[in-house]
Amino acid sequence: MPVLPKYMKLNLDRRIIFILMAIAVIFPLVFKLGLPNKVTPEVKNLFGQMESLNDTSVVLISFDFEASSFPEVQPLANAILMHCFSNNLKVIGISLLAEGTALGEKVLKENAAKYNKVYGKDYVFLGFRPQVTATILALGEDFHKVFPEDYYGGSTADLELTKNIKNYKDISLIISVTDGDIPFSWINYAVARYNKDLAVLATAVMATSFYPFLNSGQIKGLVNGLKGAAEYEILLKKPGMGARGMDAQSMAHLLIVLLVILGNIGYWMERRKK
């Protein structure tokens, strides 16, 4: 029997794997590959639903993410905000995680500026409220009690966009841009209790958790990580960070498959040797 080369041993040093992964991710970010992407039905559905809203519709976007996942959720947030503003939808931004506040405000403002939207009339940012469950439930009862002021201290009763919002009945769609499991709370309380439509834009590692709720109709749309962002960008005809990220993700996935094959070759050779 041939002696196994070191790289085919079962316990390949994980540092080698890490270096290979770093190369697989960095290379496509430096040298653009431009791999073609195909739009999935769940993204198409959300896009269609957004298209069906009109310029009086109010969309509540909850930036339920932390700083850690910002590189992955930023393309998701950008895509949905571009769609909202290009279709003249009214946007109310909130955050159920403290760290999502500054980042949520940043993406909201940046995108609003691109479309020359007016604060208070076309969009508002209300900031962070602690205690996810209580906030989601309370928004269904009395919007102004939860957010008497916006992020900048202005009264929500005076802002043109928010003065007539009483509860979920005045919101057309809730969108949770997330890196965690906060959409479960939106499903349990805003969807189940107040019968409100919800769309979820989640990081890839969390998105799979929400597919059962998409199939059961409890979620109206699901955009899955960078791939979803890239698909949304295709529908918007505005390729951006999502499309670029997909090249890197493709290479990373390819590397994982190669590692799995390598691991199995090593495993089988060792088994035959024994």
Contacts with another protein by CB under 8 A lie at 12, 14, 17-18, 20-22, 25, 35-38, 40, 66-72, 98-99, 102-103, 129-131, 133-135, 137-138, 141-142, 145, 179-181, 193, 203-206, 208-209, 211-212, 215, 227, 246, 249-257, 259-260, 262-264, 267-268
Report the side by side order of strands in the sheet with 123-128.
123-128, 90-95, 58-64, 173-178, 198-202, 221-224
* CB of 251 vs another protein, minimal distance in Å: 8
Q: Is 251 left (phi over 0), alpha (psi -120 to 50) or beta?
A: alpha
* CB of 55 vs another protein, minimal distance in Å: 28
Q: What is the biggest distance separating any 2 CA atoms in the chain, rounded to whole angstroms?
A: 81
* CB of 56 vs another protein, minimal distance in Å: 27
* CB of 44 vs another protein, minimal distance in Å: 13
Distance between CA 221 and CA 211 in Å, rounded?
10
Distance between CA 45 and CA 105 in Å, rounded?
27
Q: Is 109 left (phi over 0), alpha (psi -120 to 50) or beta?
A: alpha
H or E stretch at 116: none
Tokens describing residue 169: 């009945």
* CB of 241 vs another protein, minimal distance in Å: 14
- Smaller CB distance to another protein: residue 55 or 237? 237
